Amino acid sequence: MSAPTSTPTSALTIVGAGPAGAAAAIGARHADPSLEVTLLDRADFPRDKACGDGVAPHVLDLLAEVGVTGLLDDREPVTTLALSRGGTSVERTMARPAYVVPRAVLDARLVEAAQAAGATLVRHRVRSLDELDDAAVVVGADGAHSVVRKALGRPQGPTALAIRGYAPTPPDQRGTQRIAFGAQGDVQPTYAWSFDRGDGLANVGYGELLRAGRAAPTKARLVERLEELLPGSTRAGTDWVGHHLPLSTSRWHPADGRVLLVGDAAGLINPMTGEGIFYAVATGLAAGRAAAEAIAAGDPDGAGRRYSRATRPLLAGHLRHTALASRLCRSGRVLDAGLRASARDQRVFDDLVELGLARGRVTPTLALALAAAYLAPTSRRPR
């Protein structure tokens, strides 16, 4: 990657080359193979990123639509998802296997796919939007602390803080993604995870919602909480790194104009599960397409409108449903009811996974099962 002194821009300039930025570049070049696309990132690739490394199969579906296939063919799929809260638990095979891929690997492959599609990658830290005046359209894909979002004056929504490390996978946890929700007294959703990577190591971590007026937990405290919820998981752990998660709300709406926000920069992380790679790729592809079409139509200022038209049907309903579900899950009783209902019925489990990993809804099956489990005598204990 070259390291210039002034900011290199082209008709479409994308700030940040994580999953959202790489997808934007791929989406744009797929829509218009002649469009000049520059991807700017402050880091050299491969680079690490604090993450649970869980990749939903839906991410691969989206990429296949723009001709990017075989990205994770060499990775071991993860088939089992185990959820627990105190003594309530469910462990089932997922309708479709997921992947656990270190971001140093996943993001480098996505950047390579963007370059193969014709985008130019340049190492450059963007400090202000003024640097990008020459670009017809700018996509802000610069993550949780987005410079582009701040320059647009868009507010930061609710935020979580999480830590991640790598530790040897215990033999009985191979092929499993394990999530342990916080117990009585914890503000939900708060959870610890251990995701088997399939190569002898597991991605282990813990995250919780940050609350106004309360000091953020220290790194040591986050690791301590992980060990409390998943005993033994931090043993021989290395590469501890923490990061903020900007959580989505039901009020999400893209702005008009020639500057678009995608992925974490747009505040798009599932408030129930902390999943953000699906949204990053979905919004990245949509923004890239919208930008390419607006530039081709000689109407760069219409890029935001096009992006909004493409993403609202994709995400608006889903985001309302996840906002509702995450509000409900703040009650330990509701969370327990969800786990019990999922243990009873594979369809409920599948619907919950879809809501947490991609763009599922609170289906009638899920709502009815949840209500029944909530009202069942076993859940009448005070929580």
Residue whose beta carbon is closest to ligand FAD: 276
Piece in contact with ligand FAD (CB under 6 A), picked from 14-22, 183-191, 209-217, 361-369:
14-22
Question: Quick check: 162 and 207 in contact, CB under 8 A?
Answer: yes
Out of 14, 17, 222, 286, point to the residue binding ligand FAD (CB under 6 A). 17
In the numeric block, the tokens 């990657």 are attached to: 1
Interface mask toward ligand FAD for 221-240; x: CB under 6 A: --------------------
Tell me which residues in 99-158 interact with ligand FAD (CB under 6 A).
125-126, 141-143, 147
Nearer to ligand FAD, 37 or 337 (CB): 37
Beta-bridge mates of residue 78: 98
Indicate whether 328 belongs to the interface with ligand FAD (CB under 6 A).
no
16 makes contact with ligand FAD (CB under 6 A): yes
The answer to the question of residue 208 lying near ligand FAD (CB under 6 A) is no
Output the six-digit token pair for 279.
């949204």
Asked if 360 touches ligand FAD (CB under 6 A), the answer is: no
What are the strands of the beta sheet with 88-100, ordered from one edge? 54-55, 88-100, 78-85, 176-181, 191-196, 201-209, 159-168, 238-246
**Which two structure tokens, joined as six digits, stand for 230?**
């998943």
Among 18, 300, 302, 356, binds ligand FAD (CB under 6 A): 18
Which residue, 27 or 207, has its beta carbon nearer to ligand FAD?
A: 207
The answer to the question of residue 42 lying near ligand FAD (CB under 6 A) is yes
Q: From the CB of 279, what's the least distance to ligand FAD, in Å?
A: 7
Select from 8, 10, 49, 308 the one that contacts ligand FAD (CB under 6 A). 49
By CB under 6 A, name the binding residues for ligand FAD.
15-21, 40-43, 49-54, 125-126, 141-143, 147, 162, 164, 205, 207, 243, 245, 263-265, 269, 274-278, 280
